[in-house]
Amino acid sequence: MIRAEIIGTGSYIPEKTLTNKDLEKMVDTSDNWITKRTGIKERHIAAGDQASSDLAVEAAKKAIADAGIDKDEIDIIICATITPDMVFPATACQTQKKLEIKDVAAFDVEAACTGFLTALAIADSMIVSGNFNKVLVVASEVLSRITDWDDRQTCVLFGDGAGAAILSATDEDRGIMSSYLGADGNYDNILHLPAGGSKLPASQETVKEGLHYMKMEGRETFKIAVKKMAQSVRIALKKAGLTIDEIKMVIPHQANMRIIKALAKRLKIDIEKVFVNIQDYGNMSAATTAVGLDEALRGGNISEGDIIQLVAFGGGLTWGSITVKI
């Protein structure tokens, strides 16, 4: 039986940091309020000349090196992002160009914070089908460009970063064991970016009204996020024929520390089994779980033979979970 194995990971975080103390000087907030409500202490901000593809390239290079492969072995590039370099061509194509990988397919996935998991599930299907052997999945976000820095409810939450993984075909007992993805467009207005698409193209009016910035209804998002992420984990585990007790670590989307704790409670697992780095980066949308996976592996939190659970929730609304044997 062919599976998609993760053979390499990498991540890239921009150098510039924006701390809670820095935000105190920008909006009516405090380090204590942000920490208590979100668990975030700082986030990283891309340089003015860095686009999503620039971050993606740096993460991809590290993943390729970690996998120990030549970049020309990659068959296809999938990029998860809600902050593409431009509407088109795809950020995956821009990443391909900068990596100098020629004549392979490249496309973007837009599933907000669930983007990395969605891209992994697609890559898994492509490998299992036998049509592809090595897939580069990269999630890259420059959320600082779509954040309203005058809105104290949302500007404290988001940061920039990128993570990547190389998937390869294997017939050994490891790799992606199961995946589950879901969505409900009826909740589209509780987490969205109103303008910039064909519905509300850019105009003086949309810019003046701040419609090119993310909008979020935090309380409603919290409730649905916890419920759907817990449900996603249970479904993915059932498909894999496993129980939560067999999982070494859960790597969830890092949106809010209270959401992470509530998820652990619903799953009835110790918080020590949940990977957390929200204090350092905030919410990086699709890049969050990709960076978390890379850091968990490099930090020794998980190792060969361990079974882990990735889970995320994002605008759409979208959600999903993937069970992986390292």
- Which residues does the annotation mark as catalytic? 113, 253, 283
The C-alpha atoms of residue 42 and residue 158 are separated, in whole angstroms, by: 9
Q: Are 152 and 27 in contact (CB under 8 A)?
A: yes
Write the DSSP string, 277-298.
Answer: -HHHH-B-TTHHHHHHHHHHHH
Residue 283 CA to residue 147 CA, distance in Å, equals 12
Question: Which two structure tokens, joined as six digits, stand for 47?
Answer: 């340089």
> CB count, 10 Å around CB of 305?
10
Q: Reading across the β-sheet that carries 307-314, which strands appear in turn?
A: 175-183, 318-325, 307-314, 249-252
Please give the backbone phi and psi of residue 136, each rounded to the nearest 5 degrees, phi first. Answer: -95, 115
| Sign, Cα dihedral of 27, 30, 31, 35 | negative
Residues with Cβ within 8 Å of residue 283, at least 6 apart in sequence: 40, 113, 143, 157, 158, 159, 253, 254, 255, 256
Distances in Å between the alpha carbon of 137 and those of 75, 141, 155? 11, 14, 28
Q: Is the backbone of residue 282 left (phi > 0), alpha (psi -120 to 50) or beta? A: left
Other C-beta atoms lying within 10 Å of the C-beta of residue 320: 31
273 to each of 35, 52, 247, 322, how far by Cα in Å?
Answer: 21, 31, 9, 16
Residue where the block lists tokens 């891309």: 46
Length of the chain as a residue count: 326
